[in-house]
Chains A and B, each alone.
Chain A
């Protein structure tokens, strides 16, 4: 039930900052181990360009051949086999034949029922009715009951480290059948990948066993991060492939949880729709699986000694990991805390600006520099608050299509009416102005004509000769 391809939820397809780091590494490459690599490496890792070195494992021989043929980076290769616990591995004594799944809910889930229906249809057979399915298959069978040996509640042995021998390492990297079981820690030792930077595990079942078998790698402080597909079902047994066991182990090895996704699966009794175009996770239901991202917290002062023991390149790669997993805030903290050391690799202020660009990816330009972004936060600018309402307002606007569209249409109609009324008023005024001007012009012409006649009369000889008579007439009243 993994995501399409070899994807990890939360891994960005690219990061300008990660590219800057890749181009600045002095001596090291970025070493990746991908267990369950069907679909290929996610594009985010390619931000490291030719500094990326990777080994991918998958049990599908055809897919491994395809990936090897398509790969252009000579430092990336794909191996066929089942990564797990081979015979003779000391972990077998702890597991002692216990199942890695208990209280598995698959039989009750919608996707399982859909697959069964499809298989029956393809075989030309009738699928059992829902009632029969539930009463004969689901409720009367314990799909993965409790451990038959009783619960193992001693969690401490799961932290035990199994260092691979030189012989095991040589055997692991030697050619074998495509269905061979590969000891991950031994393979890493034989392939010079013990200083790997990142491990991804997604094998749809024995993930916790693979993780425990790789305890020797987890114990190395040079391993910066791990991505795991985790299960949200299971018992409290110390050997169950359940998130609580993985989480405890990872914390014990010094990692912190930096990302967690939750994928819900509905019951077949009344399923929510599937998110995908094939039967898998649903829009609602109980949490069944997810992806967990663990990275070392090298920006914390509690990890000062660990950070001091790592190379500058390692610190830069840890910061790049944060940026790739959408945590530019932690990448920035790394740059601020380890400024002196990272300045040997790149211009830290320029890198902080790149991270500021990444964090403002969904905002309109002009984007703020790191310094301005921080100043804006310290002054509590509105942009730093109420994303929930803004997102909800936008989202609710989208969701309320039925309500929003008529409202906008109504507003539009009102505006059109306003526009028409105003245009009509303007036309009326223009008409009246024209009339006024015409009328005023006519009166003005007459006035000017009268003024000219009057001036001519006043200038005439007869007017001047008769002036004493007009004076006498005014005196007489």
Chain B
């Protein structure tokens, strides 16, 4: 999940105000562990993490210190007999995955490790068209890629595979988990946040949660979205996810774009060797979409139906997701209601301090605003601090570049001087050594000794 902050003091203060209330997180695709940002809720955090990697679930469970955080092995999705199960067809069907440089480099790496020659580079094969109706899809056996995960030849460890994002080659196992049934069996009636990142069937997972999203007081959802695909209403593509989430009453609050270049002329990979994944440029392929509740729409949500704890948790979520402005708006909007359990002015002051540290380069040449009142008064007065951030950031970068370049040039000159002096000293010393080794110098040694003797007082 892109963009979850780990350093929000306001989020920690809001979490502390929850008292006995817990923050319930569902993490579908928890490989790598829960994002550290969630630990802002400390021992109030309850979580279920799901993943098909047996190794990863065992590893996470062994490391976990919070007894309220549990990891479960399996594939979250619709029940096998659900009419929409597999309706999206093969997850990467129209995706250009087989044409991108990440796929090509992974092929090369795996071939190298297995000691076999790499296949020559050539355009990817055509995909079979998707049958039009769910019934036809069912007849065609449209299933996601988990049906037969390819296994890696060679001796790469499970840990290596997870670290290199080659999870599809890892040991995946477990049955289908229908989350509403799972939560009911676990006695969980209340969920605060759901994260979904399963690399393919994300939309199906989301659809399986329709009942939970409407009935369990869910405040937010983060989901990995695909930017490829067709207009098909079942396909795992952003437009379907977005329409679905808006129908459930959520607003899009953040959207990231991850790019993958083609193998035909690839841009460099973002991550260190040997991780072949997204590239510095290229076409948008996937990203993270963040959906949160927004009480600013008077027509959409009735605040009376939401507890104080839910509002506090939503404010904390805004802080964790970098939406400090929305946190301030929410606290201001419900200051009368939440004033009994929260020190609203202190929290607003904390937010004002936090917003000024989020982009430290923008604050050069400006005195920090002491509190929320000072910050908003300056905004109302249209002061220069609030304008031209792009230019300021650029100017600041340029100033730093100039300063660094000047310092580096001076350091380079000093280093060159030092090296020259060192070379000069070495040469002089060499001359000295050569001279003291000459025959005449050694022959005349007694004369010098005699002179030293005579020179004694």
When distances are taken between beta carbons in the complex, the residues of chain A under 8 Å from B233 are 155
Q: Is the pair B448, A443 in contact by a Cβ cutoff of 8 Å?
A: yes
User: Interface 1/0s, chain B 369-401, versus A by CB < 8 A?
Assistant: 000100110011010011111111000110011
A167 on the interface (CB 8 Å rule)? no
Q: Is B133 an interface residue (CB 8 A)?
A: no
B240 to chain A: which residues have CB within 8 Å? 244, 248
Interface presence of A275 (CB below 8 A): yes
Contact B253 A287 (CB under 8 A): yes
CB contact between A332 and one of B264, B380, B411 (< 8 Å): that residue: B264
Residue B337 at the A interface, CB < 8 A? no
Stretch from B134-142, B198-206, B319-327 contacting the other chain: B319-327
* Smallest Cβ-Cβ distance to B283: which chain A residue: A258
Query: Which residues of chain B come closer than 8 Å to A138, judged between CB atoms?
Result: 296
A103 within 8 Å of B (CB atoms): yes
Distance in Å: Cβ of B377 to nearest Cβ of chain A: 9
- Residue contact B333 to A359, C-beta cutoff 8 Å: no
Q: B176 in the interface, Cβ–Cβ < 8 Å? A: no
- Selected from B380, B391, B431, the residue in CB contact (under 8 A) with A127 is B380
Distance (whole angstroms) from the CB of A197 to the closest CB of chain B: 19
A266/B228 in contact, CB under 8 A = no
A267→B297 CA distance, assembly (Å):
13
Structural contact, A260 and B96, CB atoms closer than 8 A:
no
Q: Are B407 and A409 in contact (CB under 8 A)?
A: yes
- Of the stretches A168-176, A204-212, A427-435, the one at the interface is A427-435
Contact with A along B65-95 (1 / 0, CB 8 A): 0000000000000000000000000000010
Of A304, A387, A430, which is within 8 A of B126 by CB? A304
Chain A residues with Cβ below 8 Å from B408 are: 408
* B265 with A355: CB separation less than 8 A: yes
- Count of inter-chain pairs, beta carbons less than 8 A: 343
Q: Is the CB of B264 within 8 A of A142?
A: no
Question: What 0/1 readout, one digit per residue, does chain B (252-291) give for beta carbons within 8 Å of chain A?
Answer: 1111110001101111111111110001111110000000
Chain B residues, Cβ within 8 Å of A329: 101, 261-262, 264-267, 282
Shortest distance from the beta carbon of B267 to any chain A beta carbon, whole Å:
6
Contacts of B388 in A (CB 8 A): 274-277
Are A436 and B435 closer than 8 Å at their CB atoms? Answer: yes
Give the contacts of A364-404 with B (CB-CB under 8 A). Answer: 370, 373-374, 377-378, 380, 382-389, 391, 397-399, 401, 404
Which residues of B sit under 8 angstroms from A418, Cβ to Cβ?
Answer: 418
A140 interface residue (CB < 8 Å to B): yes
Interface string of A334-371 (1 = CB under 8 A from B): 00110000000000000010011001000000000010
Q: Mark A265-282, 1 if CB is under 8 A from B, else 0.
A: 011111111111111001
**Is A415 an interface residue when CB atoms closer than 8 A count as contact?**
yes
B382 and A118 contact, CB distance less than 8 A? yes
Q: Which of B95-130 contact A (CB under 8 A)?
A: 96, 99, 101, 105, 108-109, 121, 123-127
Query: A92 interface residue, CB < 8 Å from B?
Result: no
Do the beta carbons of A247 and B251 come within 8 Å of each other? no
The answer to whether A412 touches B407 (Cβ under 8 A) is: yes
Complex interface: chain B residues within 8 A of A378 (CB): 108, 121
Q: Is B308 an interface residue (CB 8 A)?
A: no
Contact A380 B239 (CB under 8 A): no
Residue of A nearest to B389 (CB): A273
A217→B109 CA distance, assembly (Å): 45
Chain A, interface size category, equals 35 or more
Please give me the residue from chain A that is nearest to B254 by CB atom. A287
The listed residue with most B CB atoms (<10 A of its CB), out of A329, A436, A443, is A329
| A302 interfacial contact with B, CB 8 Å | yes
Q: Is A65 an interface residue (CB 8 A)?
A: no
Closest CB-CB distance, B314 to chain A, in whole Å? 14
Whether the Cβ atoms of A284 and B387 lie closer than 8 Å is no
Nearest residue in B to A284 (C-beta to C-beta)? Answer: B322
- Does A330 sit at the interface, judged by CB under 8 A? yes
Partner of A251, one of B231, B254, B351: B231
Contact A333 B99, beta carbon cutoff 8 Å: yes
Bound state CA distance, A110 and B58, in angstroms? 48
Interface check A191, CB cutoff 8 A: no
**Cross-chain pairs A/B with CB under 8 angstroms, 23 sampled:** A130-B380, A159-B231, A243-B239, A244-B239, A260-B227, A262-B255, A269-B332, A273-B359, A274-B387, A276-B387, A276-B388, A284-B325, A355-B265, A377-B266, A380-B109, A382-B273, A385-B271, A386-B269, A405-B403, A408-B404, A444-B440, A447-B440, A447-B443
Kindly list 9 other residue pairs between chains A and B, CB separation below 8 angstroms, not including A259-B283, A401-B364.
A118-B382, A138-B296, A269-B326, A284-B323, A328-B265, A386-B269, A422-B422, A423-B417, A440-B435
**Interfacial residues, chain B to chain A (CB-CB below 8 A):** 94, 96, 99, 101, 105, 108-109, 121, 123-127, 227-231, 233, 237-240, 242-244, 246-247, 251-257, 261-262, 264-275, 279-284, 296-300, 322-326, 328-329, 332-333, 348, 351-352, 355, 358-362, 364, 372, 375-376, 379-380, 382, 385-392, 396-397, 400-401, 403-404, 407-408, 410-411, 414-415, 417-418, 421-422, 424-425, 428-429, 431-432, 435-436, 440-441, 443-444, 447-448, 451
Give me the 4 closest cross-chain CB pairs, A-B, nearest first: A252-B231, A332-B265, A269-B329, A270-B328
